[in-house]
Chains A and B, each alone.
Chain A
């Protein structure tokens, strides 16, 4: 994976020293909050409901064991012994004291991590498919390109004060696991007619209070043009994106108001001016960066594991977990393992420091020292030998990490909601927990099949509710929490924005409402092969509306 170069190291250390001075001046009373706030936000420090919050970048969701151990250490030493993995593949600590943040940043720098550009109106941490570099269906590893984008976008002087924040996601497989089409720029790595690599480019996707699916403005962009094309998009956005209204400032609004065709024309006009300049990516540079992500040397193994087959036959729990949480690897005899951070009744995305240490150790022992964070708030071990699955599962299960629910109804995305977030209007986590408990029976979950529930505690949609098969949006109505249900959303390669099914439900009612939706699906599906989304797309919302509210 990527290693800092000297520039990164020097710069990050300078920034820590600078921020240390700023924190000292703030605590000594020399800086007001108005003066300090933009400075702390540039270093990932928010003030939330109960305390400061530190958001740490995990570039394209890739961590090594040393980094994971450092996160565990920080959680233990400076926080309350846990951290929260987010829908942007980042990690948040909920309780750091301001005075400790410079030391935390120093510890992070020692493992080549930081919190720069995790806030503010700049290009945020670039996200990628969490199965990158290992998935069987992958065309090519998207991470080298995410890394090239990271280098280009880090402290890019022209793009530090954009109209609003800007998020880029890269996927390298036909099946989109990175939700690319609901990002400001979505890049879908593919091969062109001549076999060369390039990207389909989507612009103007996004969630928040005004959700949009991105528009494809290029079907195939050669890889050497990646930076010049992105720069052209950012320039058009920087020039024409609205700055008069925060809620209309994202590029999705510009695309919507300008029209995708016209925006494309503007982008391509700008691109023609700059494409042959300094931003043209030399092949040698792509190869050099790609070498950082060279696949590990995996010993040859048979495609099938007789020992695993025997163990699965003898242990139904193991069998269930392998069926649900293990995905095909491009190398025979290996697989990708999803470590669920969604124990039944637990907080989605939370991991204790002990669990982080354990995952680091398991990555070293079983996964070539590689760990990924998924935007669905789980962890991935990307290179596990099939023969090792029984031993790995036994350890995970004993430590609250073996829930066999990847992709099922209890694998819920939830934002921190009103339990932590200063912006939230309603709680998300306890709603997720109650749904998880309601559908806790694993056989029932398996019978229901693939079903993505996503919960946001406010209109900002950090919990991606618009693209949940079942989306739940918490609002405040007359001082009470209410939850609006949307159906039929999806963030994969056939994306859609969920439709509001009817009036909202109270905190007490919402779990029953979700169960009604699920039961309606079960009653109407054409068979177990027709998953919730397919059934919804066939049926429309009417049968669900009728089940929830009765006939009109």
Chain B
């Protein structure tokens, strides 16, 4: 559905899913994925504009909320958001939480 850029500065489209608020990324197939690894990467230009317009339609169709473009950087084979805020949105909190945190602290006697 979308043609991804293979080089140069690139952007992805992200949003929150309406039903549960979770962070999603627009894929090349025009689907919303929970994994940043599925994100289509766009160069500035018509393809990015087309993706943003699609995001706006999806917002209006009450599927996702507030889509916007974020800067991405490619490290090795993996693309990740450039800004820390977006990295945290993409991968989740940088700290353990809930039972996982309890288990981690128990291991060190906390």
Contacts and interface: CB of A to CB of B under 8 A. Distances in A.
A15 interface: no
A51 B34 CA distance: 12
A62 interface: no
A323 to B, nearest CB: 20
Q: Which of A47, A49, A344 has the most CB of B within 10 A?
A: A49
Contacts of B66: 33
A51 B21 contact: yes
Interface stretch (B2-10, B44-52, B88-96): B88-96
A29 interface: yes
Contacts of B94: 419, 427, 430
A400 interface: yes
B76 interface: no
B108 A81 contact: no
A69 B83 CA distance: 39
Interface stretch (A174-182, A289-297, A346-354): A346-354
B48 to A, nearest CB: 21
B18 interface: yes
Interface in A281-325: none
A496 interface: no
Contacts of B27: none
A97 interface: yes
Given A47-B21, A81-B98, A29 B62 contact: yes
Interface string B54-88: 00000111100110000000000000001111001
Given A97-B20, A98-B18, A344 B110 contact: yes
A472 to B, nearest CB: 16
A400 B21 contact: no
Contacts of A220: none
Contacts of A222: none
Interface residues of A, number: 41
B63 to A, nearest CB: 9
B98 A50 contact: no
Given A52-B20, A345-B105, A400-B110, A82 B93 contact: no
B31 interface: no
A81 B99 contact: yes
Q: Which of B22, B66, B93, B98 has the most CB of A within 10 A?
A: B98
A400 B66 CA distance: 40
B21 A50 contact: yes
A27 B19 contact: yes
A479 B88 contact: no
Given A27-B62, A343-B105, A419 B93 contact: yes
Contacts of A82: 97-99, 101
Nearest to A31: B62
A80 interface: yes
Nearest to A436: B110
A419 B88 contact: yes
B21 A27 contact: no
Nearest to B86: A49
Contacts of B95: 347, 419, 429-430, 433
B22 A33 contact: no
A265 interface: no
A50 B89 contact: yes
Interface string A332-374: 0000000000011111001010110000000000000000000
B65 A47 contact: yes
A418 interface: yes
B83 A479 contact: yes
Contacts of A420: 93
A101 to B, nearest CB: 10
Contacts of B19: 27, 97-99
Contacts of B85: 49, 418, 476
A481 interface: yes
A429 to B, nearest CB: 5
A26 interface: yes
A346 B110 contact: yes
A50 B93 contact: yes
Contacts of B98: 80-82, 350, 352
A427 B85 CA distance: 9
A347 B20 contact: no
B65 to A, nearest CB: 6
Contacts of A430: 94-95
Contacts of A90: none
Nearest to B106: A400
Contacts of B92: 50
Nearest to A402: B110
Contact of A49 (B61, B62, B83, B88): B88
A29 B97 CA distance: 33
A98 B110 contact: no
Contact of B99 (A51, A352, A403): A352
Contacts of B83: 479
A49 B89 contact: yes
Contact of B22 (A51, A344, A346, A403): A51
B26 interface: no
A91 to B, nearest CB: 14
Given A51-B22, A430-B94, 15 more contacts: A26-B18, A27-B19, A48-B21, A50-B22, A50-B89, A51-B21, A97-B19, A98-B21, A345-B108, A346-B110, A347-B95, A354-B99, A400-B110, A430-B95, A479-B83
16 contacts: A32-B62, A50-B21, A50-B23, A51-B21, A82-B98, A98-B18, A98-B21, A344-B105, A352-B98, A352-B102, A419-B94, A427-B88, A427-B94, A430-B95, A476-B85, A479-B83
